[in-house]
Amino acid sequence: MITQAGVKMKNRVIGLKNYLAYGSGDFLGAGTTALTAAWLLYFYTNFCHLTPIEATFIFAAARVADAVISPLMGYLTDNFGRTRLGKRFGRRKFFILLGIPLIFSYSVMWAPGMSYIYYLLTYLFFDIVYTMVLVPYETLVPEMTDDFKQKTKFSGARISMAQLSAILAGFLPGILLSYFGKDNAISFFYSSLVFSILCSIALCMVYLFTWERPKELKSKEALQAEEEAASLTFKESFKHLIIELLSTFKIKIFRQHLGMYLGGYIAQDVFNAVFTYYVIFVLLQEPTVASMLIGTMSITQFIAVLCMMPLCIKYGPAPSYRGVVTIFGISCLAYGIVWYYNLSHIHTLLITISAIAGLGRGGINYVPWNIYTYISDVDEMITGKRREGIFAGVMTFTRKASQAGAVMLIGVCLQMSGFVSGQTQQPPEVSQTILFLLVFGTVFVLTLGFLISLKFKLNLKTHSVLINEIKNMKGIGTNPDKKITDEGKPIVEMLTGMPVAELWGNNNIGYKKK
């Protein structure tokens, strides 16, 4: 039986296998999401004969359930270490281990010819499994290292593997549709089965080659917070959970991060939900063409991620984010120009635009998850505690809620424009609605993320100062007085948004036991 190792960070050698093993975990987060985003709505409406509102209601229902599950999972994984299973397998990694067999529920979602209730329940069950694995998985990087460059490499490995899975998600359905026929839904089932197998293998690698923060490296305040949580009654625990969740929104840099994250990802949600419809019903091309363009985007997304790692280190996350947002926005406008000048027959042009769009999308995918690994460091300076799980739970919930809202809105717009399920041709009003959502809906949300990024100031230099001051507060830094230095004070106050006197738990942020 495999047990959780407790090795000090400073003695842990991080090698290529660790980066790749951790990164492979996002075959679940990105691979299944890419396949779902590009094809599930089309699968529901064209092969299962669900209306757009019925189909998008499934996504919305899952998000309602997620309003409870994601935050609860974040709280649970932060406090699971005091249980017998948590001590044996790890407070984070136990849930990753549990998810290995359950991940095959993804394939069950794609069985054709079933009832509406079947599709609703199978999607809800997989969504629970997805959250159960992804929330603790997202906490592992700040558990494994405090180093800015190592965190950047872990994030790069994760997003690189994610883009590889997205490439597979882009091309695989088209290949299978060509083999089985464009009207055969079994292509999507086999695609999902491939991803279920790959995800189970990836989660095994994550469990074997990642680790959690050793107890001896936690601050006195963090250990005290864990002990207090263990002594709470059920009522107090519930109150603790609610206060901890809401307190994350008091962290200025987390609010800025969420704005950038949602700005880039909601724009992609809108784009993903309508792009297949755009190719088939606006440009009047075959589904295999949509698969080819999605695959092309995925390839250049992978290239973009490799470029983003050094760019984020050299220029910082926010300037890099603004650059890729601009690239993706221009590409969306270019898709509108293709329709306006009736250039859809020039496949080379469509591939070129899709390749450029992929460069922007890859960068957008990378930057927020690179930033996330540093948020818990800022929070530790504010609260004196390590709350990676809480932040991961809130991020997962807000991400899923925003995705469901975007997709539900698209479903309503399609239904109101006159979309007819199962038909190969749609009324002109439907095509105009799809085009408007793809171009203007996407660009509008990207603009919001761009504006929010102008206020974001965390980078390699400021983060290094922050980590040094955290060490000082723990008594293991260069300042023997266990306080923030005069040199670090302005940067710490800029990142935390609070005066030094109110940091390290001297505030009302988070749960305070009376």
What is the structure's pLDDT at 245? 83
Gap between the Cα atoms of 164 and 116, Å rounded: 32
Structural domain contains residue 506: no
Determine, yes or no, domain membership for 502. no
497 in a structural domain: no
This prediction's pTM: 0.74
Whole-number Å distance between alpha carbons of 207 and 94: 8
Which letter, b or e, does each residue of 270-298 get, where b requires 16 or more Cβ atoms within 10 Å of its Cβ? Answer: bbbbbbbbbbbbbbebebebbbbbbbbbb
Distance of CA 494 to the CA centre of its chain: 26
In a domain, 109, yes or no: yes
Match 């009832």 to its residue by tokens. 115
Domain that holds residue 277: 14-463
Q: Taking 90 as the threshold, does the pLDDT of residue 491 lie above it? A: yes
Residue 1 pLDDT: 35
* Rounded Cα gap, residues 381 and 470, in angstroms: 6
Q: Give how far the C-alpha of residue 493 lies from the chain's centroid of Cα atoms, to the nearest Å.
A: 28
Residue type, 274: V
The answer to whether position 411 is within a domain reads yes
Instruction: Using the predicted structure, report yes or no on whether residue 2 has a pLDDT greater than 50.
Output: no
- Answer yes or no: are the C-beta atoms of 264 and 364 closer than 8 Å: yes
Residue 166 domain-assigned?
A: yes
Q: Check pLDDT > 80 for residue 222.
A: no
Vertex 95 angle, CA 92 and 99, to 5°: 145
Q: Using alpha carbons, list the distances in angstroms from residue 460 to 155, 291, 442, 484, 497.
A: 14, 38, 30, 19, 18
Euclidean distance between CA atoms 488 and 468, whole angstroms: 8
- Position 5 scores a pLDDT of 37
Angle value at C-alpha 343, between 340 and 349, nearest 5 degrees: 120
pLDDT per position as a tens digit, 104-130: 999 999 998 899 999 999 999 999 999
Residue range 159-185: average pLDDT? 84
Is there a contact between 328 and 357 (Cβ–Cβ < 8 Å)? yes
- Domain for residue 393, yes or no? yes
Provide the residue type at 224 as one letter: Q
Q: Which residues contact 294 (CB under 8 A, 6 or more apart)?
A: 38, 169, 170, 171, 275, 276, 354
pLDDT cut 70: percent of the chain above it: 93
pLDDT in the model for residue 68: 75
pLDDT in tens, 425-459: 888 999 999 999 999 999 999 999 999 999 998 88
Closest to 301 (Cα-Cα) out of 171, 446, 122, 125: 171
Which residues, other chains included, contact 81 with Cβ-Cβ below 8 Å and sequence gap of 6+? 87, 90, 91, 226
Residue 482 forms part of a structural domain = no
> In the structure, what pLDDT confidence band is assigned to residue 4 with cuts at 50, 70 and 90?
very low
Q: Which tokens hold the place of 313? A: 């280190």
Rounded CA gap, 342 and 214, in Å?
61
Which one, of 335, 345, 341, lies nearest residue 286 by Cα?
A: 345
pLDDT at residue 24 tops 70: yes
pLDDT at position 6, please?
Answer: 38
- Taking only the tens place, the pLDDT of each residue in 403-422 is 778 888 888 899 899 988 77
Tell me the mean pLDDT in the region 283-310: 89
- CATH number of the domain within which 236 lies: 1.20.1250.20
The domain total for the chain is 1
Q: What pLDDT, on a 0 to 100 scale, did the predictor assign at position 351?
A: 96
